[in-house]
Amino acid sequence: MANQYPQKRIMKQKTKTTIFIWSMLALPLLNLLVFWVYVNIDAILMAFKNVDYANGGVEYWTLDNFKEIFKMFTENRPGYDMVLYGMNTLKYWLVGTVWSIPHSILLTYIFHKKLRGTKFFRVVLYLPSIICSVVLVGIFEAFVSGKGVFGTFLTQVCGVERVPAWFQEAEYATPMLLFYNFFFGFAGSYILFSGAMAKISREVQEAAVLDGVTMWQELWHIYIPLMWPTISMTIVTSFAGIFGASGVILLLTPNVTETFTFGYWIYDQVRRYQSYYIPSALGLIFTLVAYPLCLLVRKLVTSIYQGAE
C-alpha cells in the first residue's frame, strides 16, 4: 500500500504536466487549424467553384476560372494585365534575392570584421527596419516629394522645373517602389547571416589570418562555405515566395494598376471586388509551379559545399 501513494503522485504530476503542455499548445494548434489548414483547403476548393448570380448566388463546380486566367495572360485587358504584373513580381524578386542576399552577406562580413566606423553604419543601415513600416514609408514619401529634401534639391540645385508625383504617375511609380525595396529590403537577411557568421569558430578565423589570406579569400573560401546552410535556406525560401514578391504597393500606390504584382492583384481583387474564385485558382497554379521549382532549387543549392562544416 505504501508504494501506491508515490505512484499516484507520479501519475498526478504526469497528468498536470500533460494538461499544462496541451493548454500551451491549444492556441497555436487552433490558429494552425483555422488560419492555415481550413483557409488553404477552402482556397483550393474555391479554385474549382464559381457563383451563378442569376439563380440566387448558387455555387457550382467549374473549370472556367482556369480558362479565364489563361485569357488574362493572352489578352491585354485594363486592370487584368497579368504579363505586366508578372514582370513587376519578377523585378521585386530580383531586388529581394539577387541584390539583397549578396549585399547582406558582404555587409555582415564587414560588420563582423569590426572595421573602423562599422558600429555607426550598422545602426544607420539597420535603423529603418526597427521603425514601423507605415512611418518609414511616410518619411520616404515626404523626403522625395516636391517639398521634401530630394524635391528641393532637384528644383533648386539641378534646375528641374517640375518634380513628378512619384507615386501617382505610372511612369515613375514602379521604379520608385523598386528604389525603396533596394535600400530597405535587406535587414531580415542581415540578421540571419549575422547569426550564422557568429557561429564560425574563432580558431578557424585565426588560422586563416596566420595563413595570410586576404579579406576576399577569407569571405569566399571560409565564411561563405561555413554559412552555406543558412544561405541555401534563404535562397530556397526566396524561390518559395517568388510569386508573392511585392513592395509597399498598399501604402504608396494602392490604386495604380501599373505597379501591381501577382500577390497584390490577388489582394486587390478580394479587397475591392470580393472576388475569391479566380484569385484562388491563380494561387493554386502558382503553388503547383513553385513547389517543384523549390525542390529543384533545394537539390541544387544543398549540393554545393557539402560537408563544409
Residues 141-170 have pLDDT tens digits of 888 888 888 888 888 888 888 888 888 888
Which pLDDT score is estimated for 248?
Answer: 86
* CATH code of residue 201: 1.10.3720.10
By C-alpha distance, which of 220, 217, 225 is closest to 201? 225
Mean pLDDT, range 168-194, rounded to an integer: 82
Amino acid of residue 64:
D
Consecutive H or E run containing 51: strand 49-52
279 φ, ψ (degrees, to nearest 5) = -60, -35
| pLDDT of amino acid 309 | 55
Shared-domain flag, residues 105 and 194? yes
What is the rounded CA–CA span in Å between residue 6 and residue 11?
9
pTM: 0.82
- Split into its structural domains, the chain has a count of 2
Q: Which structural domain range is residue 252 located in? A: 64-116+189-302
- One domain for residues 19 and 69: no
Could you give the percent of the chain with pLDDT greater than 70?
92
The single residue listed with the C-alpha cell 540645385 is: 157
Check whether residue 76 and residue 33 sit in a common domain: no
